[in-house]
Amino acid sequence: MSVRETILNRVRAAGRSGRIPSGSHSGSAHAVPTNVRSALAERQDDLVARFSRELAALGVECHIEATADAVRDRVRSLADGQSVFSWNSDRLPYDLGGVLSSAVTEADTRGRQAEATLGVTGCHAAIAETGSLVVLSGLGTPRAASLLPPAHVCVVRRADLFDAMGTFFRERAADIAGAACCTFITGPSRTADIELTLTLGVHGPGKVTVIVGP
């Protein structure tokens, strides 16, 4: 048995036999200590900060909102006057379905989808290391909503931020395996010809906007 296998077997055994020590303590049995909550919040803030820096380097507009209401207001302002192609309302975070009640969805014809000027989606993960958005296509989350319109607005929950792709692959392996397609979106679509002339928006949205919610 290799050293790696030995260590993994010990971890698995500890997970099966581990227990929470008894003892007197105040508050709920499931309460998270204040220092732990503070550390988690600080780490999440660090991920948001790094993610926003990477987005800026990619030329992506980023809005960080403190409340769900602020997220809805931001989406409403960005969608104003646009023809929107979105995920199904039950798949969108922060109850955005009410804001996008007239949006085109996967149930509409390809013609109506092709006429949309703005795609609005959530995401299944966001990678702070690269500024990438991860979209798992499936029922209610069509890939075309993030690919077909010339502009894409993606709404990210803080809970879906990962530090690196490796972490995402480890923790969401089952979700990836069950998806029709796993797409990584890293900034606007970029294409360069043989003379290295860079063009945006040829094979996907030329503009990407990210909204990070609470």
Per residue in 163-186, pLDDT tens? 999 999 999 999 999 999 999 999
Q: What separation in angstroms does the CA of 156 have from each of 40, 92, 160, 175?
A: 18, 10, 7, 17
DSSP symbols for 157-168: -GGGEESSHHHH
In this predicted structure, what is the pLDDT of residue 13? 62
The pLDDT of residue 204 = 73
Q: Are strands 161-162 and 125-127 parallel, antiparallel or unpaired?
A: parallel
Distance CA 3, CA 6 (A): 5
Say whether pTM exceeds 0.75. Answer: yes
Distance from chain centroid for Cα 30 = 28
Residue-wise pLDDT for 192-205, tens only, equals 666 666 566 556 79
Specify the fold of 33-212: Rossmann fold (3.40.50)
Q: Which DSSP string do the residues of 33-88 spell out, in sequence order?
A: PHHHHHHHHHHHHHHHHHHHHHHHHHT-EEEE-SSHHHHHHHHHHHHTTS-EEE--
In the structure encoding, which two tokens stand for residue 145, read together?
């909503």
Reported confidence tier of residue 79, pLDDT bands at 50, 70, 90: very high
The ranges assigned to domains in the chain are: 33-212
Task: Using alpha carbons, list the distances in angstroms from residue 90 to 17, 95, 117.
Answer: 39, 8, 22
DSSP 3-state assignment of 133? Answer: strand
Query: Of residues 126 and 9, which shows the higher confidence score?
Result: 126
User: Is the predicted pLDDT of residue 31 greater than 60, yes or no?
Assistant: no
